[in-house]
């Protein structure tokens, strides 16, 4: 391979914010900062398979549960709708993950 212009090769470019993985990372960072809308958005992403993630009802339920626990009424409705499509074991796992995430979030804040 020939390096015609090393300055061009080494130039640092800003991240492409349209990339799906960066959008998910943005939502996760905002959720970690306590943004309940980001938690709701993650629930939507996982329940629909948006931004390149596979549909995962357990993760969706977890994020809707976290958003609902922070006062997002619509997240509570979405969580209830998802529950109709899930087994008791899946719901229990989603609740366990939500509790675990909330405990870790509380430790970060303290």
The pLDDT tens digits of the residues spanning 55-105 come to 999 999 999 999 999 999 999 999 999 999 999 999 999 999 999 999 987
Domain ranges of the chain: 19-109
**Number of H helices and number of E strands within the chain?**
6, 0
The pLDDT tens digits of the residues spanning 25-60 come to 999 999 988 899 999 999 999 999 998 899 999 999
Task: Identify the H or E element spanning 10.
Answer: helix 6-10
| Separation of alpha carbons 84 and 76, rounded Å | 13
| Separation of alpha carbons 99 and 23, rounded Å | 24
SS3 12: coil
């Amino acid at each position: 391979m020939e390096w015609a212009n090393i300055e061009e090769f080494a130039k640092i470019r800003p991240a492409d914010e349209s990339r799906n993985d960066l959008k998910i990372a943005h939502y996760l960072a905002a959720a970690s900062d306590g943004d309940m809308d980001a938690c709701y958005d993650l629930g939507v992403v996982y329940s629909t398979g948006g931004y390149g993630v596979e549909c995962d009802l357990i993760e969706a339920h977890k994020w809707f549960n976290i958003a609902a626990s922070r006062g997002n009424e619509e997240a509570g409705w979405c969580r209830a709708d998802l529950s109709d499509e899930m087994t008791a074991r899946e719901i229990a796992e989603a609740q366990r993950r939500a509790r675990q995430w909330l405990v870790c979030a509380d430790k970060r804040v303290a």
